[in-house]
A and B are shown apart, each in its own frame.
Chain A
Amino acid sequence: MTKQLTIAVSGLHRGDNPQPGPAVIRSIHRRYPSATIIGLSYDMLESGLFSKGDDGVSAAFLMPFPAKGPKVLLERLDEICEIHPLDIIIPCLDAEIPNYLDLANEFKSRRIRTPLLTKKTFERRSKNSLGQLGKATGIRVPRTIAASNLNAIYKACEEIGYPLFLKGKQCGASHVTTAAEVAYVFNSFMAVWGGPVVAQSVVYGSDEYDVIGLGDGKGGLLGSCAIRKIMLTSNGKAFGGIVVTDPVLQDIVEKVVKKLKWWGPFELEFVKGRQGHELIEMNPRFPAWADFPSQIGCNLPAMLVDLMLSRPMTPVVPCEAGRMFVRHCIDLVGDISQLAELSEGSMTKGAKLELENAKFELVK
């Protein structure tokens, strides 16, 4: 009998800035319906903790913030493994990944599969390396200058010219129109993510494109899906998208993956201006819309599980242009007993069952 997989997934909140975790879980469940999913959470109110659907978790654990470093992360994961021995961990948040890369050997010795990306590759796609990546691949990228102090960021902004974007090391982007806004935005990003903060010129174009993909670590692309964002949230996140099949865009994606020898999931973000597609960011994880391609035959999270387990991979179906998604928010029911249990550091099946029983009694 095949051993049931236990997979830990993070990034469980689906708010106005949705995280990828629940989409990754749902995609994995499509291929591995009996997989046990362990949620790694940073907040008791992460919405995915309360889902009883295919995107829900069997148990959840509160995690130390990534800034605490790899040692603290490993200690917590060792505690979790005593209760639920993990086969795979899929970190879904940018800020977590460096700690996992630092701990690669520790995980190997524990026979836990984690991202096989190298730190060097991770850095080569970072926001402050975008210019070099553009040069190395011949892909158009916006002018980007990294700065670690206030004087340097003012200088960078003057060089690029207003308006521009200031971006945090891991997350966050703010549109800055005058020098008066720089200090506040710079200090906010430094406080949350540390340095450097990146100043990036604005790409003028009405169309934004995102590409989700999976690299094999040898320069090959195992699968991808490109969309044009057709609805955006106030902070520019895709709330709806439509599949495109653009050979020019596909060629750019293949060039990046080949150059970086990228291993694992990624999201490439483009703006199409007068001079074509400009790469504005490469994220080292699945995007929040990862389950959309899974529903039309391109299940990259399930393929990632196969890749991590060195199993034969089922080729993904190319996504058909014109297939589209629209995000839909629903209200999930929770109970104070779940919060009580989570406040102790974890939520196991017991709390969920208690809740189900309480619900049953109510219905009776």
Chain B
Amino acid sequence: MSPKLPTSRKNGKVNGQSVHLSNLKIVGCLVFDVCSGKFHRVSETAAFVIDELKRQTPVAGIIVAYSQRYKISQAIAARDIELFMNDISVMG
């Protein structure tokens, strides 16, 4: 069974400042914040998760999509996504 995750995340923090998902533009493996003008190189899997979050896909749905896309179990997918979301929450 998947670990319990928040059902939606609308924003996180980068360098101590709020980043709204709606401001993020994913261009290949770059994530560009149209508001702050900052851009970050991210892995393909991170870009996938951010893209799903931008679409407001519930986390349970992201886990399913992620596990299917990368052919891994849902438990591993859930752990990866949780770690990633924790990482972006505490960046800076």
Residues of A at the B interface (CB closer than 8 Å) are 206-207, 209, 227-228, 230, 242-248, 272, 274, 321-322
Contact = CB atoms under 8 A, between A and B. Distances in A.
Interface in B1-51: 15-16, 25, 27, 32, 34-39
Contacts of B36: 207, 228, 244, 246, 272
A228 B32 contact: no
26 contacts: A206-B15, A207-B37, A207-B38, A228-B37, A228-B38, A230-B37, A242-B39, A244-B34, A244-B35, A244-B37, A245-B34, A245-B35, A246-B34, A246-B35, A246-B36, A247-B35, A248-B35, A272-B36, A274-B16, A321-B25, A321-B32, A321-B34, A321-B35, A321-B37, A322-B27, A322-B32
Given A321-B25, A322-B25, A227 B16 contact: no
B69 to A, nearest CB: 26
A242 B37 contact: yes
With most chain B CB atoms within 10 A of its CB, the pick from A242, A244, A248, A272 is A244
Contacts of B32: 321-322
Nearest to A324: B37
Contacts of A242: 37, 39
Given A228-B38, A244-B35, 20 more contacts: A206-B15, A207-B36, A207-B37, A207-B38, A209-B37, A227-B37, A228-B36, A230-B37, A242-B37, A242-B39, A243-B37, A244-B36, A246-B36, A248-B35, A272-B36, A321-B32, A321-B34, A321-B35, A321-B37, A322-B27
A272 B37 CA distance: 12
A207 B38 CA distance: 9
Contacts of B16: 274
Nearest to A241: B37
